[in-house]
Amino acid sequence: MNKLLICLALAAGSLLSSGASLAQTPAPHSDQLYKAFGEKPGLVALMDDFMVRLLADPRTGPHFQPANQQRVKEQLVEQLCALSGGPCVYKGADMKSAHANLDIKKSDFHALVEVLQQSMDAKGIPFRKQNEMLALLAPMNRDIITPAESGTRP
């Protein structure tokens, strides 16, 4: 079921994606998703759990070990807060610039989404609200995944 959710969210994001950065994506009109995630304290707790899981997962850990993990968590909280209709404004780099030289494959992106789902499950976020957030995050895949050269990348 989780794999199906991931595929659906990524497919929806691919269809909706226009290459715009997250900073340019308008927030939903309602703050209901923000409230469902526990507002800012809930997002902070979610990202604390998420970072622990990212670092522990052999698929994602190598991408996050060298990063300033506190800063990554803070930026993720800002992004999710803004996307979910909260009062935050994301001030970090656009996704394309931030990930340009990181050689991120589709499988890396999918692994990150799986880990995020594990964290959302652990924090008791309702499945429907998880889907809503994933649908908002999915369009970033075009800016985060490094384009394949000559079709050799998975």
pLDDT digits (tens, 9 = 90+) for 78-96: 999 999 999 998 887 777 7
Whether the pLDDT of residue 134 is over 80: the answer is yes
Q: Is the pLDDT of residue 57 over 50?
A: yes
Superfamily, domain 2-13+28-144:
Globins (1.10.490.10)
Q: Is the pLDDT of residue 150 over 60?
A: no
SS3 state at 74: helix
CB atoms within 10 A of CB 1: 6
Name which of 4, 13, 110, 118 is nearest 63 in CA terms: 110
List the one residue out of 119, 47, 105 whose CA is nearest residue 76.
47
Record the tokens describing residue 76, joined without a space. 């993720």
Per-residue model confidence as pLDDT tens digits over 11-42: 333 333 333 333 334 444 589 999 999 999 99
Q: Model's pTM, two decimal places?
A: 0.75
